[in-house]
Structure 1
Amino acid sequence: MTTALDHIHLMARNNAYANERLYEACCRLSQEAFAAERTNFFPSIRETLNHNWEVDRYYLDALREEGRGLTVFDAPHLETAAELKEAQELLDRMLIGFCDGLTKTDLDRKVVQDRGKNGRFEETVANTLLHLFQHQIHHRGQVHAMLAGTDVAPPQLDEFFLDFDRHPAAEKYL
């Protein structure tokens, strides 16, 4: 890896890979276990994954300068792991496509983010993407921990970057 742009490309792919692995596990849960109240930042696996889906839509809207802003949060939550998996896969493909279309100069370009009563703020594309990736990692970790309290084992999510340790499912993203 030689540039920040290369890193962004890889992070978008790692994000999709980790989401795929996590959703494979979540889809093996019963609907009851998926929606069950648990101790965490959000009260269930379902609510945590809905939050990630919402926030990805929000930042992708800002990055693509589509102008929907906070209205992306008006969509109803999805109920099943299968519905969320499909919706997240679409966003992950869109995010990879967005990142693949970036040039080095795009990373410093400012995009507007609507924060409602707090106003509208400009942030660079690079910082927005780094925040989005970190946000996903943070909440995937929470889902991972919640899965440990179910009969579905949490999947390994960090077998992406190292050649000798790469999970076979990661290959399709490289």
Structure 2
Amino acid sequence: MADLLDHFRRMAANNLWSNDRLYRAVLALRTGEFETERTSFFPSIRETLNHILAVDLLYLDFLEEGPLGAAAFDDFVAFHAPAPLFEAQTAADRRLMVFCEKITSADLDRRVETDRREHGKIPERISDLLAHLFIHQIHHRGQVHAMLAGTSVPPPQLDEFFLDYDWKLRKEEVERLKL
């Protein structure tokens, strides 16, 4: 039976896989579709994907107990083209996978300081930060997925990762990504 630590490791791998699928669709967009204003929480695919990365970098800094704190988000410089954004997102996804591989079950209850600007420094459990980060990623990837429906590129299937039944649909990607 899988434990919570195994679940987080699998979620980190799923995150890399999902972003890879999503970005491959985004890279196929016609000129102008990436930044076109659309109806969603953020007004474009570009802004939504930049937000995902900015929050990922913030939470990675929290989890790794890095020196940046809120500056990881505040000083984030948005990408204007999908290819370099994809490259940066992949690096963050790999970093998250390494973090999840290195932590132990005992680490999950350990608290790390989060810098919440005007709300101060708030200690949070690593397990709660990871859970929140995965939910955040899924939430905003779903928005990009919906926005893709209004473009020249059909939205990719993003729920074929965990089940053995779906293995044939992800085998090539999982092997290419070395998951």
How far 1:97 moved relative to its partner?
A: 0.3
Structure 1 residue 123 corresponds to structure 2 residue 124 = yes
The C-alpha deviation readout for 1:67-112, integer Å capped at 9, x for no partner, is 2011112121001110110000000110000000011100011011
Residue equivalent to 2:39: 39
Residue equivalent to 1:57: 57
How far 1:118 moved relative to its partner?
A: 1.2
Residue equivalent to 1:108: 109
**Partner-residue secondary structure (3-state), 2:34:** helix
Aligned partners of 1:62 and 1:69 also within 8 Å: yes
Distance 1:47 1:130 in 2: 23
The C-alpha deviation readout for 1:135-174, integer Å capped at 9, x for no partner, is 0000000000000000101000010000121322134454
**Partner-residue secondary structure (3-state), 2:32:** helix
The C-alpha deviation readout for 1:114-133, integer Å capped at 9, x for no partner, is 11011111111111001000
User: Counterparts in 2 of 1:18-33, with a 5 A limit?
Assistant: 18-33=18-33
Paired letter, 1:170: V
Gaps of 5+ in 1: none
Paired letter, 2:163: L
Paired letter, 2:62: A
**Partner-residue secondary structure (3-state), 1:99:** helix
Paired letter, 1:101: K
Distance 2:123 2:99 in 1: 18
Structure 1 residue 133 corresponds to structure 2 residue 134 = yes
Q: TM-score, normalised by structure 2?
A: 0.94
Distance 2:114 2:30 in 1: 37
Task: Please report the RMSD computed on the Cα atoms of aligned residues, expressed in angstroms.
Answer: 1.1
Gaps of 5+ in 2: none
Structure 1 residue 164 corresponds to structure 2 residue 168 = no
Identity %: 53
Residue equivalent to 2:143: 142
Residue equivalent to 2:12: 12
Flag as ranges the 4+ runs of structure 1 deviating above 2 A: 170-174
